[in-house]
Every structure is written in C-alpha cells, then in structure tokens.
Amino acid sequence: MNAASDRLSRWTPAIFACAIANFAFGLSLAVLGLGWPAVSASAPASLAMVHLLTIGWLTLLMFGALFQFVPVITSRNLPSQASPLLTLIGIEIGLAMMMGGFLALGEGAAAALLLPLGGGLVLIALALGAATLLLPLLAKRPVPLSARFVLVGLGFLLLTVLLGLAFAIALTVPAIGPVLAPLLGGSVGYHALAGIGGWFTLTAIGVSYELLPMFMLAPHDRGALGAMVLWAGGVGFLAAFVAGLAEILWPLGWAAILEQLGRAVIVFALSLYLIDVLRLYRSRRRREIELHNRAAVGAFLALGLAMLLAIAAVVGDHITDLAPSLLLLLLLGWLSGLGVTQLYKIVAFLAWLSRYGRQLGRQPVPRVQDLVNEAGTVWFFVVYFVSVAIAAGAAALQLPGVARAALALTLLSVLLLAREYARAWHGFYARPPHGTATPLLDPKGVRR
C-alpha cells in the first residue's frame, strides 16, 4: 500500500467543490446587482454576499486544504474521517441559515431566530474541524513552521467567529442588544482584521510555506526570516485587534497607540513574507515554474498592492473611501487568487494520488502535469487577476457599473477554472505515458 495515497482526505474534494460553488454564488450576487456594488456594503444582501465569500468559500477552502495537508506535515492521520464531513455539513447549513437571517433583518422573528442559530451552528462546525486538526498538530514534535502558522490562524478564527456571533446576538436579541451595542458601532473592522488578517492570511502563509517548496523543489526550512514572519504577524494582528476593541469598549489613551504599533508590525511581517516568497522562487531547483505558481505571482502582487493602499488610506485619511478596494484586493486578489491558483495543482495532485499512487513503481504512470492543460488554462488566470484589478480600481473611483462588469469577468474565469479542476479530477486530459497501454482509473481505483 502506498503511504501517500493512504493519507488522502476522503472529503477534501467534496469540500473544495462546495467552496467553489459558494464562491461562484457570492460573485453572482454582486454581478446581478443583488449585493455590493449595486447596493450599500452594509445592506443585508451585501452582508450575505460577504459571508458567502468568507465562510462559504475561503473558510471551507482553508479547511479542505488543511484536512489534506496537516496529516502530511505532521506524519499523523486525522483522528476521524467523519469530522471533515460533519464540518462541511455544519458550515453549509449554518451559512444558509445566516444568509436567511441577514436577508430577514428588520423583519422581526425570522432574523432573530436564523442569525444566532446559524452562527452558532457554524461555530460548532468550525470547532469540530479545528479540534480535528489540533490533535495531530499538537502531537507533532517539533512543530513545523507551517503547522505553527496554522495553530495561530485557528486561534484568530475563534476570535473572529465569537465576535461575529456577538454581532448576530446584538442585532437580533433585544434584551442583550443594548449591552453589545458598542460593538456594532465600530468593531466590524476588527472582525475583518481578525478574519482576513489573523485567520485567512496567517493560515494562507503557512500553507504556502508547505506548497511552494513542495512543487518548486525549494528549501522547506525558512530559517529566521520565516519565524520572524510568524511572530511579527501573530503579535501584530493580536495587538491591533485587542487594542482596537479596548478603544471602543473602554476608551484608553494607550489603546490607540498600541493599535497603530500593531498595524505597523503587520506591515513589517507581510513585507518580510513577500521578501521570503521572492527567495523561494529564486532558490527553486525546478527550472520551469509550473502554471499555478506562475499565476500565484498575481496573488502576491495583490497583497503588496493592498499593503500600499492601506498605508495610503491611513496617511491620507481615506479609509472609508478606499475600504471597498482594499477588501477586493485582499479577498479576491490575495486570498482567493492564491486559492484558485493552488487549487489547480492540488486537485491534479490529489487525482494523481488517488488514481496512480498505488501503482507507482509497479508500472508506467502519467505525471501530475499530464492531468492538466496549462496552455489552455493560462488565460483564465490572466482574466481573473486583471478583472479583480479593474474591479478594485473601479471601486476606488466609485464606478459601480464598471466594478460589476469586471466582477462578471471574474465570475466567468472562476467557472472556467472550476471546469478545469473537474477535468483534472476525472482524468479528462490523462494519457498513457510514453505510448503504453496503461489503463486509466477512476478516483476509487477502478479500471475504466
């Protein structure tokens, strides 16, 4: 039995499929004018759209990837193969309830019931998924750098969900609403800081520190620079989050200073990360960079541009005006961009393991590259990143029609990429190697 193929996460492909569907659904709301930019970013439909992207797409994507790669980086199996399925079901049902609650805001009992119940179900599902990951992560000694990023990211996920649940209760439970009212006034940005920054970004960095060296044949050991990214990023996001909430709840003179110091440390950490990514690309032993890592450069550029935009927004006091552009660059350019590019390789790699992993060394098998069509896919990535850049620019210039048109192209590229993922998984492009008659297998190992 092949050890690599035996460590496949049974439910990861299903999680990826649901995540992509949620991504397309969320973009469709924007394109059809049912959410931002056609309506206010604080409108109920926009809130539903944002949570489709953050919980339904990015959070599911992260968990799907982690369920597969935590056993790889820890050399330990997940404690249960049922937990990923229960996590998926809980998140999807809870998210559907939350969307119904958002759309029913202001209409009485429906929102009061659906929002907190849906948020609670999502919290339970995420706690189950996190516990499934924590057991092998905490048992590994020494804990690898990428695993430490994941551990810190999971801590920020807990903070993000708890604060979001407090929002839901404040909006829907009259008896408790006044107590939590200060949170609604100014802490939405800190909810995003913990989620987009602490959870998504730190976890994405940790996963990238595993995937980039693996597929580019670059050194895994990131040394002092990688450790500095972890500590500076974790401390920076935590300081900005805690100080920001403290400033809202108990106005203190030191809180504003600590928050600004935290944000400066975040910029420092992310700058170090981009420098380290450049080192990774330069130190690779694989001469030709594969398509998914060439396309990922767009995600790293989006992160760098988002940092510059954030600095300009703070210095020029244009935070409110530039916030939509910043969110587009972070959610769609950096995080989703890294997600769609790495999925292109991950799906093909998992398909290869499930079809050919047990035959390696016994008979000729195709390469992972034989399961994809890079020449035909490169333009989908070009359209994706160019359209996101146009949408971010249109948001800054307050041109909602242009932003919607650009997001329509983003949606089209996502659908075309989803087709490529499905083709890779089903062996659409697979050919017997070197003209042999090696039979193709379905994902369960059955000859077809």
How would you write the pLDDT of the chain (448 residues) with one tens digit per residue?
344 444 567 889 999 999 999 999 999 999 998 888 888 887 888 888 999 999 999 999 999 999 988 888 888 888 888 899 999 999 999 999 988 888 877 666 655 678 888 888 999 999 999 999 998 888 888 888 988 999 999 999 999 988 887 777 776 666 665 666 666 666 778 888 999 999 999 999 999 998 898 888 888 888 899 999 999 999 999 999 998 888 877 777 788 889 899 999 999 999 999 999 999 999 888 888 899 999 999 999 999 999 999 998 888 777 777 888 999 999 999 999 999 999 999 999 888 888 776 666 566 677 788 888 888 999 999 999 999 999 999 999 989 999 999 999 999 999 999 999 999 998 888 776 554 444 444 444 444 4
Q: In this predicted structure, what is the pLDDT of residue 440? A: 45
Q: 221-234 burial, b if ≥16 CB within 10 A, otherwise e? A: ebeeebebbbebbb
Q: Which tokens go with 339?
A: 């997600």
**What letter does residue 361 receive in the DSSP assignment?**
T
What are the phi and psi torsion angles at 447 (to 5°)? -65, 145
Contact in structure between 387 and 413 (CB atoms under 8 Å): yes
Helix (H, G, I), strand (E, B) or coil at 251: coil
Q: How far is CA 335 from CA 51, 197, 444, in A?
A: 15, 10, 31
Q: What single string gives the DSSP state of each residue in 300-340?
A: HHHHHHHHHHHHHHHHTT-HHHHHHHHHIIIIIIIIHHHHH
Angle at 256 between CA 252 and CA 259, to 5 degrees: 125
Calpha distance 9→66 (Å, rounded)? 9
Q: In this predicted structure, what is the pLDDT of residue 180? A: 63
Site of tokens 């000859």: 447
Q: 356-391 burial, b if ≥16 CB within 10 A, otherwise e? A: bbbbeeeeebbebebbbeeeebeebbebbbebbbbb
Q: In this predicted structure, what is the pLDDT of residue 7? A: 57
Calpha distance 363→322 (Å, rounded)? 57
Calpha distance 74→393 (Å, rounded)? 42
Q: In this predicted structure, what is the pLDDT of residue 8? A: 67
Q: What single string gives the DSSP state of each residue in 25-87?
A: HHHHHHHTTSSTTTS-TTSHHHHHHHHIIIIIIIIHHHHHHHHHHHHHHHT---S-SHHHHHH
The 10 Å Cβ neighbour count of residue 43 is 17
CA 320 to chain centre: 24
Q: How far is CA 196 from CA 54, 75, 213, 321, in A?
A: 8, 29, 24, 19
Q: In this predicted structure, what is the pLDDT of residue 167? A: 75
Q: In this predicted structure, what is the pLDDT of residue 239? A: 93
Q: In this predicted structure, what is the pLDDT of residue 341? A: 96
400 burial via Cβ count (<10 Å: 0-12, 13-18, 19+): middle
**What letter does residue 196 receive in the DSSP assignment?**
I
Of 91, 89, 118, 88, the C-alpha closest to 103 is 118
444 burial via Cβ count (<10 Å: 0-12, 13-18, 19+): exposed
Of 379, 373, 363, the C-alpha closest to 421 is 373
Q: In this predicted structure, what is the pLDDT of residue 339? A: 95
Q: In this predicted structure, what is the pLDDT of residue 178? A: 63
